[in-house]
Amino acid sequence: MSGDDSSYDAAEASHRALRGIQRELERHPTISTVRGFPSGEYTQVGAEVAIDRLDTDVTEGTLTVRWFAGGTSDDRPTFSFHYSGENGDFGWHHEPNPHVDAWGHFQERVNPAASYDYEPYTFSSVNPTRVVWEVMSVLVSRLQSE
């Protein structure tokens, strides 16, 4: 445990990260609206993907972001960027999962009645701002290839 953990507040650190994520998503050209929930101390951020700005036949989609900074300042954050739309249910997660060995993974449900398929995914950073742009890059590429 680090020396400054007596003043560390996991909920506040998570809220700060989610507010930063919200700001970055607001700046992204393929996001139309972003809201943090609940107001006051976010536990997640929801965003509407501006599908009309992409070269795709998809008509709607949402992105839900969860971020927990960790119980102590030394803990790894757990987070997920999960997309839901008419063309799929998939996301990039950084958390322990019994289906993959690594913390980072991509999961996808091919049809609503199926279970998720998992594959390892390595994030280039666990900095909230950098993760937003990395995930948005792979998300946009994936949606445009649909």
54-99: per-residue pLDDT in tens?
777 766 889 999 999 999 999 999 999 999 987 789 999 999 999 9
117-134 average pLDDT score: 96
Beta strands 31-37 and 88-94 are unpaired
pLDDT of residue 47: 97
- pLDDT over 90 percentage in the chain: 74
115 DSSP assignment: P
Record the tokens describing residue 15, joined without a space. Answer: 């809220």
The contacts of residue 7 (CB under 8 Å, 6+ apart) are none
Q: So where are the chain's domains?
A: 5-144
pLDDT of residue 40: 84
pLDDT of residue 86: 79
Record the tokens describing residue 116, joined without a space. Answer: 């998720």
Burial, 1: exposed, middle or buried (Cβ in 10 Å; 0-12, 13-18, 19+)? exposed
Report the predicted TM-score, pTM, of the whole model to 2 decimal places.
Answer: 0.91
Record the tokens describing residue 84, joined without a space. Answer: 């839901």
pLDDT of residue 16: 96
pLDDT band of 113, cuts 50, 70, 90: confident
Burial, 91: exposed, middle or buried (Cβ in 10 Å; 0-12, 13-18, 19+)? buried
